[in-house]
Structure 1
């Protein structure tokens, strides 16, 4: 029995694995590829040069692969790439990239994207993230693995959010958020380390304490950012099993171009 509902419109050029399900009244465009086990609900539109991996669940009324909301876009064949095992809830909107960046918007694996979340052009979202309802990313935003974005938070274009960071509800972000840091408010402010998240993901007490100490150097010591980075380099040398976490924080600070929420 066909897994594509008779009312769905699937372009003959689309590449769908035989196990893909497409619900009533959904539309799949010519340049779309969908891999095994993915379920597409009713009234979904998937268009553009879009690749969707295995075992995703896309709920009703999602719009994936539409042209970027960027006036500079001139019809270039930019892409949307979605990995495996993602949950994409109702009314999500993920746009393709632009040639002003690398031409691709990318979502990794095992993400939970709640209703009305938006990934604008050229966003890069890692794996195992959680986006609560109405979390919104402007263009060129990068989000690391395991980050959590609470409901109605908005992220300014070109911002970066580090792995394991936590963004509180209604937060307005205009600067970068380092790994492991908990941020909330409008304007956004740092409120400590995402300790509960680290515990849930199996970090040891030594690793958590090392991140807390690193946070204090950056946020509570009165040091300039350059001085704090130098201290973090020293801390890393004696951090033992926690050295990768201290290094991740230091590397993020080295790479930030917008400055960090402080």
Structure 2
């Protein structure tokens, strides 16, 4: 298999502060680039925080000018970056939970969360999913949090030929064991590498468990964050297989 370096950005979000969160994302992206990362995945709603009450006010079109600096930076540092954002596909459309793919060539991909968690329907509508993406020679399928609680979602990714199943999430301590059990199981069942990017701290009134992780296609753990905090979980594939590390992202 050709070399591949992917990473989960375990970032903390400032509630409702798009500009501040863009700056934080850029810091993660810079550190990821220094590690040679090709694909960096952020948690669910990473650019605003998991703020259901603010979602309607904060939602943007995926190609909004306010997000252009982040797209430009992805090109500058050469890291395909997946960020979480409440989005509207038109001025009159409902708010969706988006995962925006900012390519190193300036391209923009849009994934929207298909399966809502109980209570999210007050602020969001179910989305439409999205296309897989190519990172080097590998096919990557995206998921956002509750999407992966539906086995059919991971199965559909495998049917599309996904080598990597990458989920941006918000998982608390209570849900961590069951949820990571599902993700590890998908890796084993579908022979996909599975990446989970969790929030690094509290957001929207929820205490994140952190402990972002990446599993190999046989279900073995490549690397995981030891707890909460701003960290990047990196997985590298070379001729000898997978190895991982956890990198701290310090304040500039």
Q: TM-score, normalised by structure 1?
A: 0.23
Q: TM-score, normalised by structure 2?
A: 0.24
Q: Highest Rg: 1 or 2?
A: 1
Task: Specify which structure has the higher proportion of helix.
Answer: 2
